[in-house]
Structure 1
């Protein structure tokens, strides 16, 4: 039998199943293979073990939280990278838009993350819990007062501070200060806890992200994770799907003295980062039919009457740029989701970055990277194409043997094996080198899909954004054409129906490429063109017609 053709059919079938699985997940249905989004290398503690009953809830009407309560003022804050609204109710970050004035390449990073409106909720909020005898401390329900001061990062200034003060509640006042730094997607958030009462108190500070399950913009036919994540040095990244929270099956590390909590989505993320060495209790929960939260709670030291203490946290909200995330906190770069191919994908992205540092254009960098990968695998590819060329050369004789022994499969297989031995043809020779290369191709797929660095990055002419589909479908058409040429260069199947199906495969594969990011399609087009050149050259050496 033709093992090479059987392997191709297996790959084709698997691809169709994966395409259907992505379609299922894109439309909110359960995955065939990944019912849980929890990272497979982690084992956590069920969320039911985490005490969240003492945390203030949020009502499903969302604004304001408590019926009859007056609405807070929206304080407008602007920096060189943020356009923000902070609600005086709770001092909550209720709207955050990323801005990058000037520069075509980065203009597409301008998008809204935090938001609070009837159709969508995504908030960053903090507060205090742990009051004695059931007394409440200031939290995200309370109406804070914004303090006088600038609200915009002016030219010549490197930092901007905006401060909010709560009313005294349970004998405690909370002063919350946001400190923004020029060029940074990280906010320093200081919480000053003042004991204005007559007895000592020991509050706990919670920092959390609240989000609904509304989908985000992402390439079609490509499933990208959206939802909460918990990271600790011991268990690494633990992604938690909204579906698992709904079913009460969320698993994550609940106690640690390091790490962070986050909400992740395609190309962007937000994360609360407490100081290393500070014990904290992580929690994940559901607040309503479509509203979820992930947070961390830290028990603070005792505050005597008339005294105050300060607790610091950092809030990241911005693009998942790998090198920037590495500098912010340990493990934060993992919010850039390479799926299960991280081990191979990270070195590939490192190499792509190095090439980009020399060329300054991500499109040409993709092409050069493809050339380097093709060169590295040339010995394997050459072995595969040589085997295919030999198979193509003996195809007429194979067809004769099939006709001669079509009534006796055992004799036919024996005759084919003898032919392979005489002509020194390995029926596995064409497929094994291809199988070895597949993990690298899949890893590069995730690199190009997950890298926000491609967002808004032009290549040439009509391609102005490598993270979006080709607006004129030129690259997908080239992709389809090169796949047809490759199919013609392969040995023709003896079965006419099978031959027609092999010609149909490029068309079936090409459908999804019309919706894939241009950078990803560019890689496949260049790879196919190099494969055609290699295959044509080796076929010439075996004196076979190539078409």
Structure 2
């Protein structure tokens, strides 16, 4: 392959990665939802407004956090083998969640997903709507039951207001990030009622603590329904009134998504259910996503129970798919999902044998190389033939001087005489680009890589190489590959090609070591394959 085409395709491939990454974070998946939230005839819409703050007309970040911090005064904490949850008795709402099997940047601390402090706000709330003076997340709840067993923990809170008793029961199982929630409404008044239940996730728009300034991953809101499937909405789109999502659905879920982790509310199936996304304050800092569903008419002395689920934890695709249909789609690979999903499943299969994600990446790379061996061989043979005739190309260039037309004509004649297809090496490379981009997203998005060690100095495949050994190996392998390729006739092009390893190697200093490991193994295998084919082609 002509060295200029090689350079162009390398730049093209990396440009696709960068542009696609930025597009994913600056745009939402557009959908044309025709179902709008229908107004309920027998209830005033003002009665369906979710109270975010008690007696506050204008809610700002400062005022909300100031109020929310008071929730820490009276709390209850429970713990399983994977979750440590803190409930505030105000609203029986979840105000802190620690993931006990994951560490934060400070390896001495657990990963904190939900929290309320001076710099961060992330909480899950629920309550009732439809009547005045009805229990919601601003009311005081009492903890009246806490049961612990080898299977898990069950904790219950209750609040009575306006003759309505609301009981919230949270059921946690061991080794599970899914939480079963039962809302029981008892009508102690002398009139029938038609309450609404809301489930709400409230969060500010700050980036997660383990975000990278070099590459971006999605941080925002996601929804799923049978009709519109997976939708994601960035905080920026909400602030700019560009958020498009399904607003009425009797199924699915709503979620807050960030790199590696997610929280989700999975309500019961209800034909009167609505989804809402709102911007809470005027400073574009706090956002809420909620579901609102009708509980129907409850007669005096009667009760109604509503079962829902919460997910608070890592983006574990296997567990999430078991909790609710489509919940595993929060691990979003975009248009390359059709390739990325099988790659991820293949990785899981290999991991079941190796029990090490580093060696899984190595074996996956070898397997992909074997699959693309015929295409790669064709590409390398094309490059080997071009390298063999490169002295003759240089001679033609010297003979033609500045006559470009004559030079191009002579080169075409030479290719025809030697039976060389100048595009023969490009097409195999084009076919492999989608696979590489898909694998890039699999390695970047899979929480399984987080905290997973390989050998010796690689303790976390989702983090950068602490000693920069893999990026250096990658640069060296790129230099060897360039030496095996035909030399460009233009000295300027030759210098540019020698700079490329420094450019791409420098980029890899900031990428997860798991991705760099894939690239290093791929380069080494390519060098071996290219060396054998070049030697065979140059044989008399």
Match in the other structure for 1:130:
130
d(CA) in 2 for partners of 1:375, 1:70: 58
d(CA) in 1 for partners of 2:8, 2:65: 55
Match in the other structure for 2:27:
37
Please state how far the C-alpha of 1:167 moved relative to its aligned partner. Answer: 2.9
Task: Show the 5 A alignment for 1:48-87.
Answer: 54-58=49-53, 59-60=59-60, 61-63=63-65, 65=67, 73-87=74-88
Match in the other structure for 2:8:
9
Match in the other structure for 2:319:
324
| Kept after mapping to 2: 8 A contact 1:65/1:141 | no
Tell me the alpha carbon deviations over residues 419-453 of structure 1, each in whole angstroms, 9 at most, x when there is no partner: 00000111001111111111101111111111111
| Kept after mapping to 2: 8 A contact 1:168/1:196 | no
d(CA) in 2 for partners of 1:343, 1:70: 45
Give the SS at the match of 2:101: coil
| Kept after mapping to 2: 8 A contact 1:476/1:514 | yes
Match in the other structure for 2:200:
208
* Unmatched tracts of structure 1, length 5 or more: 23-30
Match in the other structure for 1:192:
184
Distance 1:20 1:310, change over 3 A: closer
| Kept after mapping to 1: 8 A contact 2:477/2:524 | yes
Give the SS at the match of 1:166: strand
| Kept after mapping to 2: 8 A contact 1:45/1:251 | no
The answer on 1:510 being equivalent to 2:505 is yes
2:401 pairs with 377, 397, 406, which one? 406
Distance 1:44 1:176, change over 3 A: same
Distance 1:218 1:63, change over 3 A: closer
Higher alpha-carbon deviation: 72-81 or 466-475: 72-81
d(CA) in 2 for partners of 1:370, 1:253: 40
The Cα RMSD (Å) is 2.6
Higher alpha-carbon deviation: 236-245 or 193-202: 193-202
Tell me the alpha carbon deviations over residues 370-412 of structure 1, each in whole angstroms, 9 at most, x when there is no partner: 1110001000000000000000111111122222223332222
Please state how far the C-alpha of 1:109 moved relative to its aligned partner. Answer: 10
Distance 1:211 1:406, change over 3 A: same
Match in the other structure for 1:118:
118
| Kept after mapping to 1: 8 A contact 2:450/2:461 | yes
Match in the other structure for 2:417:
422
Higher alpha-carbon deviation: 9-18 or 461-470: 9-18
* Unmatched tracts of structure 2, length 5 or more: 40-44, 54-58
Match in the other structure for 1:285:
278
Match in the other structure for 1:246:
239
| Kept after mapping to 2: 8 A contact 1:220/1:515 | no
Task: Show the 5 A alignment for 1:97-496.
Answer: 97-100=98-101, 110-131=110-131, 135-150=132-147, 153=148, 157-169=150-162, 171-216=163-208, 217-276=210-269, 279-288=272-281, 289=283, 290-496=285-491
Distance 1:462 1:287, change over 3 A: same
Give the SS at the match of 2:369: helix
Please state how far the C-alpha of 1:337 moved relative to its aligned partner. Answer: 2.3
Tell me the alpha carbon deviations over residues 496-531 of structure 1, each in whole angstroms, 9 at most, x when there is no partner: 111100111111111221121111111100000000
Give the SS at the match of 1:313: strand
Distance 1:529 1:35, change over 3 A: closer
Tell me the alpha carbon deviations over residues 72-113 of structure 1, each in whole angstroms, 9 at most, x when there is no partner: 511111111111110111111000001139x9xxx9994111
Please state how far the C-alpha of 1:145 moved relative to its aligned partner. Answer: 1.3
| Kept after mapping to 2: 8 A contact 1:213/1:242 | yes
TM-score by length of 2: 0.91
Please state how far the C-alpha of 1:221 moved relative to its aligned partner. Answer: 2.4
Please state how far the C-alpha of 1:64 moved relative to its aligned partner. Answer: 6.0
Give the SS at the match of 2:325: coil
| Kept after mapping to 2: 8 A contact 1:219/1:468 | no
| Kept after mapping to 1: 8 A contact 2:25/2:217 | no
| Kept after mapping to 2: 8 A contact 1:374/1:530 | yes
Please state how far the C-alpha of 1:158 moved relative to its aligned partner. Answer: 1.0
Q: How many residues align?
A: 521
Give the SS at the match of 1:119: coil
Give the SS at the match of 1:251: coil
Distance 1:192 1:65, change over 3 A: farther
Please state how far the C-alpha of 1:35 moved relative to its aligned partner. Answer: 7.4
Tell me the alpha carbon deviations over residues 228-263 of structure 1, each in whole angstroms, 9 at most, x when there is no partner: 101011211100000000001101111111100001
Please state how far the C-alpha of 1:44 moved relative to its aligned partner. Answer: 3.0
Please state how far the C-alpha of 1:542 moved relative to its aligned partner. Answer: 2.0
